[in-house]
Chain A
Amino acid sequence: MGTLGRVIYTVGNWIRGSGQALDRVGSILQGSHRLEEHLSRHRTLMSVFDKSPLVDKDVFVAPSASVIGDVQIGKGSSIWYGCVLRGDVNNISVGSGTNIQDNSLVHVAKTNLSGKVLPTTIGDNVTVAGHSAVIHGCTVEDEAFVGMGATLLDGVVVEKHAMVAAGSLVRENTRIPSGEVWGGNPAKFMRKLTDEEIAYISKSAENYINLAHIHAAENSKSFEEIEVERALRKKYARKDEDYDSMLGIVRETPAELILPDNVLPEKTTTRVPTTHY
């Protein structure tokens, strides 16, 4: 049935061609209001003149994030969706194993009211559990925890194992000592961190490194891989493991669709300590 296949293929091509012609007619009808789709010009890693970002090969930088200017990111770190790390007027250095979560903003200052300008330094294994934290010209030392929506202004120093509670506003040049939780607007000392919570901080940074690997793999797939997986997923959507096991069937989900085990924390953990305020 070679010729029939050929005929159907040609007819399909004609229909597609007429579809595209109709599309052009429609655009002319719409005139100046028509939608013109362009390729995405969003630059994930962008250099400003001679300042270019230096990002380790292990780092997950989400495609919708922007790493601009003089930024250095150490291995194992992750920059999540929608973040902006703008090192245009000064430099930003992010250590290893740090995660800067979605929609955060890390920025540096060129001039300051007091005249002293510090680059932003974020240490190793810091969790900017951000979701929209704003870090502006400050130093965050290793294994610290910046809570959701926190705003850290110029010159703030968050010491090791310290925590900035969610929604807090830390004024300029505040120093948050090690092992304490500061929060509120303006940020004040709230309480001390228990050892359990300090351990939790480093554990969560580790979990995020593993999670970042998954997202990195997913975001860097080529078009063919995405299509193949979509077909696989459709095929396996109806096949539930529980149901199969009751019938005594063992089906294998294809390897592409299995998430690695180390992403989700072990089920043996008891209550997660409430480290966020």
Chain B
Amino acid sequence: MATSIARFSRRGVASSLIRRCFAAEAALATHTDPPKPKLTVSPSPSPDRVKWDYRGQRQIIPLGQWLPKVAVDAYVAPNAVLAGQVTVWDGSSVWNGAVLRGDLNKITLGFCSNVQERCVVHAAWSSPTGLPAETLIDRYVTVGAYSLLRSCTIEPECIIGQHSILMEGSLVETRSILEAGSVVPPGRRIPSGELWGGNPARFIRTLTNEETLEIPKLAVAINHLSGDYFSEFLPYSTVYLEVEKFKRSLGITV
């Protein structure tokens, strides 16, 4: 009894949901708004636009012939977005909310590197140095949370601090550390074995030998952590069961 009432009430709500989320299969949505005269040309919304898609955002977005390639043991968080020419090599990890947009140029994430939460890695079409403007993150690099990388080259075994901004053409040489919040101007080269930081990035001190030995250890530690996360996910998602249940409840043939 209660379930049938629930089913009927859900059908009432669901009928508007049908139009919204299954626009491709069912009738078009009839959502119209009175135009607000605030802009010079008021936007004309399309009735086809869905307000939310039950599929969410795809993790891997191919563009034309480019398909992002993820190694089999690399962990890419489900809400990370890889688009275009992106290659994620073995043992590396891309954490939550990161956006790796390789639509203008290539992005490579090397062995055992990690791109932490909410980073944006992009590649410009051309770089002011004239060198190829792809973003290359070599092996054992830790890119801290919320950083922005654009057409930069990061050589092996570096640490990029959190919320740092690396602009076009910058080069971070091997075994260097960038402090959190540093802004590296376009074309800047951070020499090997040094600690730089600030906005704009300035030399702070050289790194001791012990510190340079710690750098790959950090990357490996994060690699182990990503292994835990990787094993949390089934090889294939079982959401299709939910989708079938959902469609069945809305009366759409599966």
Contact = CB atoms under 8 A, between A and B. Distances in A.
Given A38-B239, A43-B51, A218-B62, A55 B246 contact: no
A222 B150 contact: no
Interface stretch (A107-115, A154-162, A266-274): A266-274
A24 B170 CA distance: 51
A148 B148 contact: yes
A95 interface: yes
Given A184-B199, A264-B104, A54 B43 contact: yes
A63 B57 contact: yes
B4 to A, nearest CB: 23
Contacts of B118: 82, 103, 132
Contacts of B253: none
A273 B42 CA distance: 34
B101 A81 contact: yes
Contacts of B163: 149
A276 interface: yes
B65, B168, B200: most-surrounded residue (chain A CB, <10 A): B65
B99 A82 contact: yes
Contacts of B239: 37-39
Interface stretch (B7-15, B124-132, B214-222): B124-132
B36 A131 contact: no
Nearest to A65: B57
B45 A214 contact: no
A214 B41 contact: no
Contact of A38 (B148, B165, B242): B242
Given A131-B150, A166-B165, A274-B187, A57 B61 contact: no
Interface string A175-200: 00000000011000000000000000
Given A166-B183, A233-B67, A103 B165 contact: no
Interface string A235-277: 0100000000000000001000111000111000101111011
A63, A95, A236, A263: most-surrounded residue (chain B CB, <10 A): A63
A221 B242 CA distance: 21
Given A167-B183, A211-B103, A259-B63, A44 B165 contact: no
B172 interface: no
A218 B186 CA distance: 31
A167 B199 contact: yes
B146 interface: yes
B120 A103 contact: yes
A96 B183 CA distance: 30
Contacts of B72: none
Interface in B218-234: 232-234
Nearest to B130: A271
A90 B18 CA distance: 31
A214 to B, nearest CB: 6
B251 interface: no
Nearest to B43: A56
B254 interface: no
A211 B61 CA distance: 14
A46 B156 CA distance: 43
Nearest to B128: A274
Contacts of B52: 40-46
Interface string B17-44: 0000000100000000101101101111
A4 to B, nearest CB: 27
B168 A64 contact: no
Contacts of B33: 52, 54
Given A54-B36, A222-B24, A82 B97 contact: yes
Interface of A: 20, 23, 35, 37-46, 52, 54-57, 59, 62-64, 72-75, 80-82, 91, 93, 95-96, 101-103, 131-132, 148-149, 166-168, 184-185, 207, 211, 214-215, 218-219, 222, 229-230, 233, 236, 253, 257-259, 263-265, 269, 271-274, 276-277
Which 7 A-B pairs give the minimum distances between C-beta atoms? Answer: A40-B56, A57-B46, A56-B43, A167-B183, A64-B57, A259-B64, A131-B120
Given A63-B55, A81-B99, 6 more contacts: A35-B232, A42-B57, A148-B165, A233-B65, A272-B124, A273-B128
